[in-house]
Homo-oligomer: A and B are copies of this chain.
């Protein structure tokens, strides 16, 4: 006898329509394989046009979400409309009606996660959201299930396909503008790409992953720097030094504090993250007992994401317990205290003593220099490239402030953080 899961689907856009496709194509094999029979009881969208596909498939439809809420047969609401409202209210209302919720909405989870998880537990129902982070990569399941017996200490992620596509293409010779245009042509970047390229999408995803991994309440205040200032020459310099630039999400738990940040990062070309190309996403988890696990796959797309939503439905047919997410308040490390190695690029007048001044400013702030290169040019200014040993963001800010007052330094120092994964 199959376990029956009765589903109401809200939002029939790209992913919602993909869910219809997958259920049509794979319901039989799913039941055979898992013993779970998925019944799509009704679909809802405020647009009549979007409802048409469901109607064609013989699925009852409505433009009013309340109809799903009041339908006693429905045990699971799938929210696929995106954005903050009405998605947030729909999720809360569904949970209060004691229906399980599946969502792909990272924005709502990053902002209202604590409220949503508490409401779910109060009503003894589950919230599943594998599709919210990393597309088809089973990252939520891996953190919540595979790592349930271990303590995660570090998370590194390439969590945004748009920026990874742009950086990959820049590594192949395109300018930022060319790469962005290409990404838009291929549907990997939106007309207004700012949410992605400024790193905000990545920061929301990191907030969700870090919350789950560290059992911690994490808000949206994560230090976030996007890729818009990365130039072709940054990428070329990195390459020369044996590095690749990626927009990295980093979360670490150490001494009870959590370090969180999103920024363009130089990583060794030999690290497997360096080969995570184009629209692919990747997550590296480091556990106290398991060591490192790397997961990678397509971070977006209609069918990959819809498949993951359907997997969450199957999961609800297989669970006996409601996931506990009793997240605790944690101390987030102030960003000035975060340490890494830095690469600095400066353009200075070709005059004696300037380099000594820069070195002195760094030394004054306890930063020691690991490598330095000054190339010969025929210009009035010379480019200086400097790699530091580990130092804090606070130390670096002070040092830059000190040497930037020197009039022979012609441009603001360009700073790139280096991650050695140690």
Q: Residues of A at under 8 Å CB distance from B? A: 3, 22, 26, 29-30, 32-36, 130, 136-138, 141-142, 145-151, 215, 270-272, 274-276, 282, 287, 289-298, 301, 303-304, 306-308, 310-311, 313-315, 317-324, 326
Contact = CB atoms under 8 A, between A and B. Distances in A.
Contact of A22 (B149, B311, B314): B149
Contact of A318 (B150, B298, B321): B321
Contacts of A297: 290-294
Given A146-B311, A149-B314, A275-B275, 20 more contacts: A29-B151, A32-B215, A33-B215, A34-B324, A36-B321, A136-B290, A136-B293, A137-B293, A138-B138, A146-B308, A149-B307, A272-B275, A274-B275, A290-B297, A290-B303, A294-B295, A294-B296, A318-B319, A318-B320, A320-B320
Contact of A141 (B141, B291, B306, B307): B141
Given A151-B29, A293-B297, A145 B287 contact: no
Nearest to A317: B321
A150, A289, A303, most chain B CB atoms within 10 A:
A289
Contacts of A151: 26, 29
Contacts of A317: 320-321
Contact of A148 (B137, B282, B311): B311
Contacts of A271: 275
A287 B272 contact: no
A145 B310 CA distance: 11
B293 A295 contact: yes
Nearest to A313: B149
A301 B291 contact: yes
Contacts of A149: 22, 26, 30, 307, 310-311, 313-314
B304 A290 contact: yes
Contacts of A319: 318-320
A35 B321 contact: yes
A85 B289 CA distance: 30
B32 A293 contact: no
A289 B318 contact: no
A36 B30 CA distance: 28
A159 to B, nearest CB: 15
B293 A293 contact: no
A274 B307 CA distance: 28
Nearest to A3: B321
B150 A307 contact: yes
A136, A146, A307, A319, most chain B CB atoms within 10 A:
A146
Nearest to A285: B297
23 contacts: A3-B321, A26-B149, A30-B148, A34-B148, A35-B321, A35-B324, A136-B293, A138-B138, A138-B293, A141-B145, A142-B142, A145-B315, A148-B314, A149-B311, A149-B314, A150-B307, A270-B275, A271-B275, A282-B294, A289-B303, A290-B298, A294-B297, A317-B321
B142 A138 contact: yes
Nearest to A297: B293
A320 B275 contact: no
Contacts of A323: 34
A104 to B, nearest CB: 14
B324 A33 contact: yes
Contacts of A311: 145-149
A9 to B, nearest CB: 15
Nearest to A316: B320
A147 to B, nearest CB: 8
A29 to B, nearest CB: 7
A310 B289 CA distance: 12
Contacts of A308: 146, 290
